[in-house]
Structure 1
Amino acid sequence: MTQHTVRIWDLPTRIFHWALAVCIVALVITANVGGNAMVWHFRLGYTVLALLVFRLVWGLVGGRWSRFSAFLYSPARLLRYLRGTP
């Protein structure tokens, strides 16, 4: 039985996903704590925004497995489907 590797995401995309998950958990915690934690809440919000901008750029110019063109269905094809046009 031979094994072969199937690449799903490259390292920057994996780091993006984990950083986004950690930031969202931290956002919920800091929102519930309130008070001085709101300073961190805003910083984390800006971090999430920076992460999303990074992912958009990386989806256009990044590695083969992270590009939007490598998705099963392209965003344009998905929009055509949602609009009901062939």
Structure 2
Amino acid sequence: MTELNIDCLNLIFNELRKDKETLYSCLLVNKRWCLLVVPILWEKHTRYIYHEAEKKFHNIILSSLSSSSKQFLGDSNNIKLPSTIISKP
């Protein structure tokens, strides 16, 4: 089975930019898709107030970051993470 190259996938995912539900589903396909979709989902993260399900989604992603990544977000980028996420290993 042939795979679409990264440029084609990027074009497709950018067309889906406003369809967050579909992009969330694309996260689960494989690692390659996930790596392409995550930046799109996070692009305008600070500009919107998210629904409860979206907050849970972001908390899951933040919780899975390594301690050094969490520290990098807080120290280098002035992003305030909830204390419950910071304390999770």
| TM-score normalised by the chain length of structure 2 | 0.27
Larger Cα-atom Rg: 1
